[in-house]
Amino acid sequence: MREKCRFELWCVLLASAWIALPTFGQGDCARVSTDVTFFFGIDVPVPDPNHPFTVDLWHTDLELSFRPEGWTVVVSHDPPGAGPAGLDIEPVEALLLANPETMWLLSSIPPDFDFIGATPGEPFWVLPQNTFSAGLALGMAVELADSGRFCPWNPGDPRGAETEDLWFELKLLDVRGPADGDFSMWQADGVNPPVVFFSTRDGGITDKDVYYITDRGHAHMNWGFTQPGLYEIDFRVSTVLRCEEWLTADWAPLGNAYFNGDCKVDFLDFAHLAAHWLQHPLEDDPDTWMFLDPDNPADPVDSNDLTRLADQWLLCGYPGCFGDANDVDPNDLNDN
């Protein structure tokens, strides 16, 4: 019976391995990231057979969330009749449309707006940060994330992210679009100069092309495009996960014979768990396996332990590998 349980355990492990994306662990915090592509149609014919949901006119957010099952990134669209929760659309299926009403044509570009890449006398398109009836109001939201799972950190960004908080980072990776087409994203209040977060005009994509939003945050911004056509825009979404304090990757404190020294939760750790599946540490091997089932070492090693270990797959590790976990500064994770 126990051999059958061990086999079933490995089936669960293989099915669970994808739930958290690997980065690295340090102390009791680990940076977690996922890459996502959004598709913008700038004054293009619709519907687009490759992106069956045309997202236009109504309030919409790029919704970011990291929960126990991993990352969820959707286009949250609120057209009439969609209900209080709106429509959650997979990014690959959504065409974020800039219709003809979002087009601008100016004889001169205002001061401080060269970053858009717009040319005097030629059209450009802006999805505005303020909702209006004729175009898409596109924002960003982190309203469904599991707040208790994150470490506070300070991105040190003077554009509004200079305090310690539960931050999510949206980093621009690549823009594929029409020839000579520039992409930009900014916020403006009509009084002060615009705060620019993304611009392919000024030196292409750099480390400055990043936007931060706090956990439970919701904000809207302007999205600018200088040529009509389809844009595929790649982003990397990141935050800093709090690893569970009890977790000891390799199932051992330093110096234990079963510690393999790789400082991360990986298949070797699952192998130790599977080898002792349904054992009662206190009864079966109290000297060696006391560290299994940290909630209650008298309980058997079971699916509860498996779930908690799989939740931090390749992310978290034994804090002793890095020194005292309490001495770890989550801000040190910012550049990885």
| Same structural domain, 231 and 320 | no
Q: Please tell me which residue, 259 or 269, carries the higher pLDDT value.
A: 269
Q: Domain range for residue 10?
A: 2-25+243-333
Rg value, the chain, Cα? 24
pLDDT at 267 over 60: yes
| Structural domain count of the chain | 2
pLDDT at 295 over 80: no
**Per residue in 314-325, is it b (16+ CB within 10 Å) or e — as a string?**
bbbbbbbbeeeb
Q: According to the model, what pLDDT value does residue 148 have? A: 78
| Same structural domain, 224 and 326 | no
* Mean pLDDT (the chain, rounded): 78
Q: Please tell me which residue, 278 or 48, carries the higher pLDDT value.
A: 48
| Same structural domain, 15 and 159 | no
Going by DSSP bridges, is the β-strand pair 29-42/94-98 parallel, antiparallel, or unpaired? Answer: parallel
Q: According to the model, what pLDDT value does residue 234 have? A: 98
Bridge partners of 237, per DSSP, are: 34, 170
| Same structural domain, 235 and 247 | no
Judge whether 31 and 237 are in contact, CB under 8 Å. no
Q: According to the model, what pLDDT value does residue 213 have? A: 96
3-state secondary structure 85-147: CCEEECHHHEEEEECHHHEEECCCCCCCCHHHCCCCCCEEEEECCCCCCCCCEEEEECCCCCH
Tokens of 67: 């929960």
| Structure confidence at residue 263 as a pLDDT band (50, 70, 90) | low
Q: Please tell me which residue, 213 or 272, carries the higher pLDDT value.
A: 213
Judge whether 309 and 317 are in contact, CB under 8 Å. no
| Same structural domain, 154 and 247 | no
| Same structural domain, 66 and 203 | yes
Judge whether 63 and 144 are in contact, CB under 8 Å. yes
Provide DSSP, 195-222: EEEEESTTTSS-TT-EEEEETT-EEE-E
Q: According to the model, what pLDDT value does residue 258 have? A: 47
Q: According to the model, what pLDDT value does residue 309 have? A: 72
Q: What is the pLDDT of residues 118-158, one digit of tens each?
A: 999 999 999 999 876 689 999 999 987 777 778 899 999 99
Domain final residue, candidates 172, 207, 242: 242
Q: What is the mean pLDDT of residues 184-210?
A: 93
Q: What is the pLDDT of residues 224-258, one digit of tens each?
A: 999 999 999 999 999 988 776 555 555 544 444 44
List of residues 6+ apart from 93 with CB closer than 8 A: 51, 52, 53
| Same structural domain, 80 and 221 | yes
Domain final residue, candidates 219, 242, 265: 242
